[in-house]
Amino acid sequence: MRYEGIVYRPPSEARSYILQVTIGCSHNACTFCDMYKGKKFRVRPIQEVKEDIDMARKYYGPNIRRVFLADGDALILKNSKLLEILSYLKKAFPRLERIGIYGNPRGILTKSVEELKELKDAGISIVYMGIETGDPELLQKINKGVNVEEMIEAGKRVKESGIALSVTIILGLGGPEMLEQNARGSAYVINKIDPDYVGALTLLLREGTPYYDQVMAGEISVSTPYNIFQELRILIENLELTNCVFRSNHASNYFPIGGTLPQDKEKMLRTLDVILANEDLKHMPPDFSRLL
């Protein structure tokens, strides 16, 4: 297997064989993100991808059950190419049960529901999409490249195709001044999409990003841990979902919160109320050790 640069995957894909079908992110312009800054986006030649699959088959044997397709927005690949890769994977690993893929909203919108259904039938079982925020002003400020309506449309298309959808939002984006806006806007978009999984991460500032420079220039403040829990509480309080696994237990989070919505909503809110009643937490400053 050959990998180019740092390879990212969702925590739930820790046991998957990761296959880079694209290198980098075709958007690569969100102001807070440095994941693929060192990589110029390109689609890997199909022959190269097949060679990697052959190498994985030799190294791991035929019993791989889970595969994750990277990099940033692998779903931007043309369907014909993705279908060829999926079919090759299935031949190499006949016991394959699950194939996950990163898809950013711009990439998803290049596909119709029918095309997404084709991918589902060919083996794609879950798409991971970063919403980041559902607030229109913040979405523009972080340069996500889509507006609220497009974000909702992208999420709905995946849902309609029958592929499971996992989305992430980022607590702390926009700082304490935009805390309520970020939480309510994100809840609105998530409710419209009604995804299967939601992950609420906490912003990690990355040196070298435009967002970091804005913080250093005093244009954006950094949320305190108390602000983050306030924001999470507003978010959860406003979520109206039919059946969704909600997690805020990423390495970026201060305290793990999770459950299934709607049934665990009150329990999660009660936990947050206990946390928010902690006087010490109220006086904790922004965590600048996160300025890595």
Binding residues for ligand SF4 (CB under 6 A): 25, 27-30, 33, 35-36, 72, 104, 130
**DSSP codes of every residue in 36-74:** TTT---EEPPHHHHHHHHHHHHHHH-TT--EEEEESTTG
> Is the backbone peptide bond immediately before 196 cis, with ω within 30 degrees of 0?
no
29/55 with CB nearer ligand SF4: 29
The sign one gets for the Cα dihedral 197, 202, 205, 211 is positive
Structure tokens at 53: 């699959």
Q: How far apart are alpha carbons 189 and 169 in whole angstroms?
A: 10
Q: How far apart are alpha carbons 149 and 147 in whole angstroms?
A: 6
Least gap, CB of 210 to ligand SF4 (angstroms): 11
Least gap, CB of 27 to ligand SF4 (angstroms): 4
56/129 with CB nearer ligand SF4: 129
Of 86, 123, 124, 121, give the one whose Cα is nearest residue 108: 124
Q: How far apart are alpha carbons 229 and 273 in whole angstroms?
A: 9
Starting at the edge strand found earlier in the chain, the sheet holding 66-70 runs 17-20, 66-70, 98-102, 124-132, 164-171, 197-202, 244-248, 257-261
30/89 with CB nearer ligand SF4: 30
139/272 with CB nearer ligand SF4: 139
For residue 119, what is the enclosing H or E element?
Answer: helix 113-121
130/225 with CB nearer ligand SF4: 130
The string over 181-214, giving b where at least 16 C-beta atoms fall within 10 Å of a residue's C-beta and e elsewhere, is bbbbbbbbbbbbbbbbbbbbbbbbbbeebebbeb
Least gap, CB of 179 to ligand SF4 (angstroms): 20
31/191 with CB nearer ligand SF4: 31
Least gap, CB of 115 to ligand SF4 (angstroms): 20
Least gap, CB of 71 to ligand SF4 (angstroms): 8
For residue 133, what is the enclosing H or E element?
Answer: none
Q: Cβ distance 26 to 78 under 8 Å?
A: no
Least gap, CB of 57 to ligand SF4 (angstroms): 29
Q: Which amino acid is at 29?
A: A
30/257 with CB nearer ligand SF4: 30
41/88 with CB nearer ligand SF4: 41
Least gap, CB of 260 to ligand SF4 (angstroms): 26
> Is the backbone peptide bond immediately before 262 cis, with ω within 30 degrees of 0?
yes
Least gap, CB of 70 to ligand SF4 (angstroms): 10
